[in-house]
Amino acid sequence: MGKLKKIRFQTLLLTYAWLLATTGVILLSIAGVYYFSQPHLAIFGADNQKEVPSAEGSTGLHSDETTAQGVQTVVESEDARPVIVAEFLERHDSPMQPYDYYGRRLVEIADTYNLDFRLLPAIAMRESNLCKNTHSDAPHNCLGFGIHSEGTLDFESYEAGFERAAKEIRAYYVDQGRITTEMVGEKYAASPTWADGVNQFMAEMRYDDRQLGKELKEDDTNVLEFAQ
């Protein structure tokens, strides 16, 4: 009887240990699924994978993983770039609608002239509040391009205005070595704070968040940083 009791005790002990191990594995699996299902807003760049807390200000135009992870997916998939530009337009109530269409078009124009996809929308925000405050004689000139004492340059569409500006920024700024916002601003605008505003709006698109754009803007952004 003593030997039988010993066998039964060992059997119960092994069963208890197996139940504990199984429960632990299940709990770890649940914790892992929960963690990786949570959205993480990430800084994107060549080397940094650091996560930063999300702040208020993002519109949430889409609810899929691309939007939830913010600009992190710009590096992983270029398809995220139009979403970020579209959200930027919507967040600031731009008349450039539909937002998804202009998000795609502005990225296409940037790619055509090998510019950072954020540069043109940021300049438009700095110059005209994303086309809300254009010159009365130039309703499609959102970038303050070609406005001087001799007359005001207008375009047949928003797209045409962005296309012309991108072409000339590439030819007469970037190709001549002006590859930062400060360098571009020295020639593009008379205001000494022009580059600071453009830096802020480019940072806003970097983090897909208005408040983080203000808090984490760079002093002098490279206008080719995310050129394709």
- pLDDT bracket for residue 67 (50, 70, 90): very low
**Average pLDDT in the 152-161 region?**
87
Spatial separation of the C-alpha atoms in residues 225 and 166, rounded to whole Å: 15
**Average pLDDT in the 14-38 region?**
57
Question: Nearest-5° angle of CA 173, CA 175, CA 177?
Answer: 70
Encode burial over 83-92: b for 16+ CB neighbours within 10 A, e otherwise.
bbbbbbbbbb
Q: What is the pLDDT of residues 6-19, one digit of tens each?
A: 556 566 666 666 66
Q: Per-domain residue ranges for the chain?
A: 1-38, 41-215
- As a residue count, the chain comes to 228
- pLDDT bracket for residue 145 (50, 70, 90): confident
Spatial separation of the C-alpha atoms in residues 85 and 108, rounded to whole Å: 11
Pick one of 1.20.58.1000, 2.60.120.620, 1.10.530.10, 3.10.20.30 as the CATH number of 41-215: 1.10.530.10
* pLDDT value of residue 169: 96
pTM: 0.68
Mean pLDDT of the chain: 78
Residue in the block written with tokens 């897909």: 208
Percent of the chain with pLDDT strictly greater than 90 = 54
